[in-house]
Amino acid sequence: MDKYVNEAVEQFKALLEEQIARERKMEAEKCVVDFEKLPKIIIGICGGDGIGPIISAESERLLQFLLKDEIAAGKIELRTIEGLTIENRIAKNRAIPDDVLAEIKKCNVILKAPTTTLKGGTLESANVAMRRELDLYANVRPVCVPDKNIDWTFFRENTEGEYVLGSRGVEIPDTLAFDFKVTTNEGTRRIARAAFEYARKNGKTNVAIVTKANIMKKTDGRFSELCHEVAADYPEITAEDWYIDIMTANLVNERVRDRFQVFVLPNLYGDIITDEAAQIQGGVGTAGSANIGDKYAMFEAIHGSAPRMIEEGRGKYANPTSMFKATEMMLSHIGYKDKADKLNRALVICTEEKPKYIITGRSDGATCTEFGDYLMQTISEL
């Protein structure tokens, strides 16, 4: 037993030193890219696993349609990134193979389809690895249901919490296992500032700070404290503390949920609660997700790769709406807000006002391509 304890102590020491170095690096490297000043923006498209290649191909077709003039003028380049598949990742035993990561880093923004994450083992999630490698610290997920007066924007810290060391815990055979949760000062300040800046720029008056600080006193307690320090720079915005358990209840409580506007929260809680929020909107297939850093950004569907649909031969009936929402967010982020707004308007028409095609995921509904065609036709008529 002493052998395992000593090994665990040495492992924890190495992890601690690594995370201290990461925090210091964050403090030293603060340089925000202004996409509107770049002579050319390279958009990398990663097909992923399962239904991923199908819905990403539809998103690429949409981008070719929306950005036809910009692509022709050399202002935008669409670049396909191969190799971010579960087969290639297993073969190379890397969450993101080195050659694939090198190609990703040559792009400015990434449009990423779902990737498969294995249960158990040591192979890290490709999402977690990409967020860390590109320092995509802000996971931004909007949820809007106008007829229920819901207009929420979630700012989930994306590079810390339980996920940053998720595959590097300590296990003592036949006895116990430890995983680690990490909260750094700089990591918390920057996600808090992103949330409050968004609130200020968009006329929001309330930011909910969601933690479990009454139990996780060191990590969540620090997260809450630092968020309030940042909030002091935004006196026109009310900052409120909420515990994650009651907030999950509040989102389904029709008497109170419409009072919430912007949320800022640690990684794990954000992962869970944004899926709940997406379900209220109509399901995880309807929601896109932005992963924002100072240099890079990655936009993705929030659902999984749906391998069962592929196994059952239903891939062509996959719903591309989540990828289209991610595309909308990406267009806005790189300075094409007019095109993003037009895409958003067309999505509302196609899914709510004039739903000519209904996607069910089966042969009794529309195909991914049929819906894409209708969407582009609608855009051209706006």
Would you state the pLDDT for residue 285?
63
Pair of tokens at residue 359 = 């996607």
Q: Shortest CA distance to 8 belongs to which of 171, 149, 228, 154?
A: 171
| Distance between CA atoms of residues 318 and 315, nearest Å | 5
CA–CA distance, 37 with 335 (Å, rounded to integer): 10
pLDDT string in tens for the chain (382-residue length):
778 888 888 888 988 998 999 888 888 877 788 887 899 999 999 999 999 999 999 999 999 999 999 999 999 999 999 999 999 999 999 999 999 999 999 999 999 999 998 877 778 889 888 988 999 999 999 898 888 999 999 999 998 999 888 778 888 888 888 889 999 999 999 999 999 999 998 999 999 999 999 999 999 999 999 999 999 999 999 999 999 999 999 999 999 999 999 999 999 999 999 989 989 987 766 667 899 998 999 999 878 899 999 999 999 999 999 899 999 999 999 999 999 999 999 999 998 899 998 988 999 999 999 999 999 999 999 8
What are the CB-based long-range contacts (under 8 Å, 24+) for 74-80?
74/40, 75/39, 75/40, 75/41, 76/40, 76/41, 76/43, 77/40, 77/41, 77/42, 77/43, 78/43, 78/45, 79/42, 79/43, 79/44, 79/45, 79/103, 79/106, 79/107, 80/44, 80/45, 80/47
Contacts of 342 (CB under 8 A, 6+ apart): 66, 379, 382
**The predicted structure's pLDDT at residue 286:** 66
Q: Where are the domains of the chain?
A: 31-136+293-382
Torsions phi, psi for 314 (to 5 deg) = -105, 15
Residue of 22, 16, 24, 35 whose CA lies nearest to 75: 35
The residues that bridge with 380 in the sheet, in sequence order, are none
Other CB atoms within a 10 A radius of the CB of residue 184 amount to 23
> What's the pLDDT score for residue 336?
94
Q: Which residues contact 368 (CB under 8 A, 6 or more apart)?
A: 54, 55, 58, 316, 317, 318, 319, 320, 359
Q: What is the pLDDT of residue 266?
A: 97
d(CA 265, CA 157): 6
**Can you name the CATH fold of 31-136+293-382?**
Isopropylmalate Dehydrogenase (3.40.718)
Q: How far apart are CA 267 and CA 181, in angstroms?
A: 10
Interior CA angle at 65 toward 59 and 69, to 5°? 130
What is the C-alpha separation between 26 and 264, in angstroms, rounded?
19
> Which residues are paired to 206 by β-bridges?
238
